[in-house]
Amino acid sequence: MRIYDGEKLDTTNFISDKYFEINSCGVQNVSLDFSVTIREKGRVDYHLLFISKGCCEVFYRGESYILQSGDMVVYPPGESQKYIFSPQTTSFFCHFSGNAAHDILNDYGISFGVIRNLQSGAAVYEKFMELIRSKNGDISKNKSNRSFFELLNALSEEISVPKGKDRVGVDAAIDYIHVNYNKHITLDSLASVSGYSKSRFSKLFFNETGSTPIEYINTLRLENARRILLSSRLSIGEIAEACGFGDQLYFCRLFKKKYQSSPSTYRKGFDMSVNSL
């Protein structure tokens, strides 16, 4: 597990007295292990983090959120930051500053905190790539700024596009799962929340999320179990029960399949990593 302490290692964290300035941007690919970034005091600039592929747990104002492909979080200056990338996750980031930065975000309708379910991650992906190429290549600063505004425009359009009826039903089920993940959830209850029959709902859910309802529920339960595992001294059985797994052996089997380690071994490895900081 790789732990990045931003307060010790950040080199592009500064306030600009200009109208607007990009401090840094890039893409991060996490391959076989988890990657944790911690900034207890946040940064002095603004931070936009977009998940292109995979899964990331982010903490924002004391709350934990599981972000998947098409989700993002926007941190204002001074906001504590912590996020944990799961293996096989690709993300894009941009740090920016300037005396008009806040107003610019407002103009594009982009708020702080977690933003879910962008309609088309492909458009945002392409604009992010253009921004990274222009910022890190031999191109003028005006070109980089223009690329950033094009990215904000793409994000704004994605956020403001009305969702189709199918997506609204699936989102209602997803919201229900996030609230009740630690309880017994049936396909009947999810279909009822969505407003569709079980067979229709299952098909729509897979088309919209790329996973079955049970796969989605188990992923959420496992991510929350991992968070509790690393932040508490609860027993493995207590964690399994708290996250909605009625069978500890089943929980351990799923955990090892997803994280290539048993819960107890994973906790021990994390403790050793933290103590080495």
- Its pTM surpasses 0.75: no
Residue-wise pLDDT for 189-232, tens only, equals 999 999 999 999 999 998 888 889 999 999 889 988 987 888 78
Q: Are residues 171 and 118 in the same domain?
A: no
Last residue of a domain, one of 119, 137, 160: 160
Domain containing residue 9: 2-160
Q: For residue 275, with 0-12 CB atoms within 10 Å meaning exposed, 13-18 middle and 19 or more buried, which class applies?
A: exposed
Do 98 and 231 lie in one domain? The reply is no
Of 160, 187, 215, the residue that ends a domain is 160
**Using CA atoms, how far apart are residues 33 and 38, in angstroms rounded to an integer?**
16
- Looking at residue 28, the DSSP 8-state letter turns out to be E
Domain count of the fold of the chain: 2
Same domain, 83 and 25: yes
Q: Are residues 36 and 97 in the same domain?
A: yes
The residue-averaged pLDDT of 88-109 equals 93
Phi–psi pair at 234, nearest 5 degrees: -60, 150
**Rounded to 10 degrees, what is the CA torsion of 117, 118, 121, 127?**
-150
**Is the model more confident about 14 or about 158?**
14
Query: pLDDT, tens digit, for every residue of 253-267?
Result: 999 998 889 999 988
Phi, then psi, of 109 in degrees rounded to 5: 70, 30
State how far the Cα of 142 lies from the Cα of 135, in Å rounded to an integer. Answer: 10
Question: Domain holding 128: CATH number?
Answer: 2.60.120.280
Find out whether 97 and 14 touch, Cβ atoms under 8 Å.
yes
